[in-house]
Chains A and B, each alone.
Chain A
């Protein structure tokens, strides 16, 4: 079909064409960038944590008063929790992965070295690896004899340590860290007994999130946290059970809370999931508005050109020719729109990445956006185009 008559018809109504083209251009720029941001956030939220997140829950007990005995309370609580049916394993823990709160410290490969590598520390007992559901890629979990408990001697290091592969790589390169020594800031050493394949630490926006270490230590009081791993499906029931049992035990302490790990991941990723939700709503509305706009404008043009369409039909154009005319007209408009839109999308993406330190927009999102808008435009214009095709040729013979 000849494009020239369509173009000259469009030129007669330049403003209308420009408006639709601009609308498509901005839609492409926004949709491509928004989907790109959404995909990054979804990837971030869904990255593996390295722990048995969905079956984990945490308990905090907070001791007070002169009668509080930290060591006895911890021993009693863990014995009680481990004896409950449905509990796979339980351990003390100082902090909670992906919760936004945690401890980090620097590790060195020699005493007094100037350069250190930061790792997120988790103090656990001999059940720690099992309780978190961590997979060791080399070495062994802690033994009972290794577990440290020193009241008020916070700066004493531990005899042995378990570290993630990512941290080991930054410390020792590609060679195996097993059996090697790492040093703390005071020059005390610990030997690496286990290597974790992958595990995430406390702060979801930290770029060294996979630098995690386990220390064999029961943290000092008066606050203590436990990590409990339940058999699949039994977490929620166990949470109630544990809270009831521990509260009933007669110690000078308060059970501050019992919370699932999901509670923490949901909160930590809330900024990201919120962005995903808001951007998704925006994209859907924007695409809908643009599509309806195309339908509305095309309907008008059909009404305006009833007589011309009738004339064309009268001089031999088939219905399919009329439909094809409108579809082609829309395709031309959309194509012009997405050409400008591509420039806009990359310019917008460039601005986002420089102003907000976001990654650069990947072209695949623009290409997908173009295809989406082409299809959308064709679908939107099809309804009015079919109505145009239904105009009887006889209309040509009537005067206005």
Chain B
């Protein structure tokens, strides 16, 4: 017995080594916890799915549903979960929908919304802002990005400066813009206009008369308020667009423009014939996102009126509706007439269809224009 202990055979040594280095004990330990992939997948998806279903899928369904229910009141108790209650009601008509609560479907909400002067006005305002602001911002951003791309000194500094508005709070800077456009002689913009062009003070934002000494400035016109809103939107919107254009420009191969230079093309021709077409995917992306973003404009408009002290749903003018936007209108409905979310829902569906149409048109146009 002892003899075998002292003299280890080669096989013995190999066995010992194999035991020491094998991972089999690992596999044996783990094997019983290893689930099939599909089971793991659903388990890790559970947290996201709970939130998605509760706060995304269900709301979309419910809002659609609510928009088509006539005279739906939810604060009054029953029917708060419009869609949920409907499903319940389908199986048990004697339950929740008794006492006139059986919903009747129709387009009444849409009729109310589309006949509402303020809502139509809000669509007009938003469209106007979109049509002016989006092209303006894209063109300026494109110019700045091209210029930035062609310089070397201070490039990083300028890039950081142009990005700064992105990391600001819209409400906070909205106030600063109000101060810059203060209605009296001390507003920075008025000082600038006075000294550069000799223009008398302008009442930019105030819905009341502004007294300066013996003269009185009339209430701000819609045009002047619009100027402030567009300038603020431009200031706010440049950062993201410049960043995207810059990253697009960085991927363009220098040899195209070098070849064109050798052929004697001017810088403008190179920009027009080479840079722009090669940048078209980024331009398309920016155009679509800015159109959608601008159509959902709300904080940017509201925040230039915040110092008026009239709350989150004031958009200038005597009645607070001068520059009301679609989203602003929707939130106003939600906040003021909480028993009528059907109206807000119908309004949001109108917004959705506008956005879908714009996106579809842009994709159709891009098929011919964008070079990938």
A associates with B:
no
Chain A residues with a Cβ under 8 A of chain B: none
